[in-house]
Chain A
Amino acid sequence: MATPIEEKLGLLTYKKPPQSHISIVDPSVCLERCPEKPCTAICPANVYEWNETRKAIAVSYENCIECGGCRMICPFYNIDCEWPGGGAGVQYKYG
């Protein structure tokens, strides 16, 4: 039985950042120019999901494990992922 990602992420400790450290620079790019949306497939923490009703990428930044892959995965460099400041974000116990 494969373990779902939600369960894997549930094992992690996070210190919640006061606000999102990730933003979509121009949401219209995702809708109009990016049919593939690789961020929704490759993010190891499932941060990015296409929201069909809002026609935009929903960003679950609180799940982010700060690998930085999204910065390179987006073919339009449309994801602005800075690190959360002040010790916030994922806190690995083993690493």
Chain B
Amino acid sequence: MSEKFDCIVVGAGPAGISAATSLAQAGLSCVVLERGEYPGAKNVQGAVLYTRMLAEVLPDFWKDPEAALERPIAEQRVCIATEDSWVQVGYKSQRFTKPPPNCYTIIRVRFDQWYAKKAQEAGAELYCGVMVRDLIRKNGRILGIVTSEGDELSASCVIACDGVNSILAQKAGLRSELRAQEVAMGVKEILALDAAKIEDRFNLEKGEGATIEIFGAVTQGMMGYAFLYTNQETLSLGVGCKLSELQKRRVKPYELLESVKQHPFVRRLVSGSKTLEYSGHLIPEGGFRSIPPLYTDGFLVAGDAAQLVNPAFREGSNLAMTSGKLAAETVIEAKKKGDFSASALSSYKRKLQACYVWKDLYEMRNLESSVEKSPGFLEFYPRLACDLAHLRFSVDGQPKREHFKEALRLVRRRGFFRLARDLWAVRKAAL
């Protein structure tokens, strides 16, 4: 690897591979360096893949019989739970499964290997088992990378897609170490279960899938949620909470996951399944205010490394794909102009600002802090929802008027002012 590349992409995840594929499609020379022994070896996701953003890199990818997709998602449910009760809201539509479906479940290691192959087919080079330790700098300009073995590789430009703990963004001086308030820790298990059983338990047509997010008692009041997704012959069951809250409460993530498994809503759905894998990962959830400067001379950051995640909408890998692609487009323009300076690369930020990535993160910028500032939010509302439903569905000899009075009393406990403020705070998570 002695020649000079147009671009070095660090990390073979959704951001890196989207960048590399777009660069290679435009005829630029590009190498992807991945520290795992194969793409995906270090990667963990729920995982829901939104079709639209991948199709912008690989049109009609869902027609590829090799595409590592699990189930097109027909139904998405939200479950709001206390210890022994739950209210479910679900939306199911055949419109979601007509090609191309809105989203699929995926198994990241399989998906990442397939996706990386697409970049190679487009002409990108891929080297796995290569850990990038540092950047080559000259007069403040980034000119390449240094591997952990001490090998140097030079390029006109480096795109850092090295994930949430982006060491390269730090080395480039774009950001400092993340704080525990800016990330969530997610742990999950892959649970083997017969396809037919999955379809029966989740009320699915053959081959179709469902996703369920569970809020409330499953996180013991901590900011976060649990999820249960259907793959072809496995379920993905996980729980993610803000790292700072786990730290404060001293909750062991794997014990939290075990308690989720024992929750009466989850227990029946996963019963008889066999754990195939346990995994854990950080999710950048600092939102808009945690986005670092996105470029400097000869250097761009994309995906989780740039903190581009929208947790309220469960989106992350799609933002990674879009940002990777836009970073690549910026590099393609820079190559045409022969200028890889920070000012030439600044159009990357404008491209992000012009699309959903920036706009959505901006809209959501106060959501998490408002919920956090509202004490007991994730304990009060699940309990309220269940108590109200309980009243509605109970026939206990009391006149309905008494039920209504009781319902008002339950709501009043929060105070109408606080209630209004809470609803206002979460309005943007609704649509």
Contact = CB atoms under 8 A, between A and B. Distances in A.
A72 B36 contact: no
A38 B281 contact: no
A6 to B, nearest CB: 10
B41 to A, nearest CB: 5
Interface size bucket, B side?
35 or more
A77 B177 CA distance: 10
Given A68-B282, A83-B35, A92 B247 contact: no
A12 B277 contact: yes
Interface in B205-257: 234, 243, 246-247, 250-255
B40 interface: yes
Report whether over half of chain B's contact residues are helix, strand or loop; otherwise say mixed.
mixed
Contacts of B44: 92, 95
B109 A93 contact: yes
Given A2-B255, A11-B278, A42-B185, A92 B164 contact: no
B280 A92 contact: no
Interface size bucket, A side?
35 or more
A34 to B, nearest CB: 12
Contact of A91 (B41, B178, B183): B41
B37 A71 contact: no
A66 interface: yes
B275 A11 contact: yes
B165 interface: yes
Nearest to A90: B42
Nearest to A66: B42
B254 A92 contact: no
B18 interface: no
B364 to A, nearest CB: 22
B297 interface: no
Given A83-B131, A85-B131, A65 B279 contact: yes
B95 to A, nearest CB: 30
Report whether over half of chain A's contact residues are helix, strand or loop; otherwise say mixed.
loop
Contacts, number: 131
A51 interface: no
Contact of A86 (B47, B148, B255): B148
Contacts of A65: 279-281
A71 B107 contact: no
A12 B36 CA distance: 14
B395 interface: no
B163 to A, nearest CB: 9
Nearest to B259: A2
Contacts of A77: 177
B179 interface: yes
B285 interface: no
Interface of A: 2-3, 5, 8-9, 11-12, 15, 36, 38, 41-42, 44-45, 65-69, 71-73, 77, 83-87, 89-95
Given A5-B254, A91-B37, A92-B44, 5 more contacts: A41-B250, A44-B185, A69-B243, A72-B178, A93-B276
15 contacts: A5-B254, A8-B189, A8-B254, A9-B278, A11-B275, A44-B187, A69-B185, A73-B243, A77-B177, A87-B129, A91-B36, A92-B42, A92-B44, A94-B108, A94-B190
9 A-B pairs closest in CB distance: A87-B129, A85-B148, A44-B280, A87-B37, A8-B278, A95-B108, A68-B165, A95-B109, A85-B131
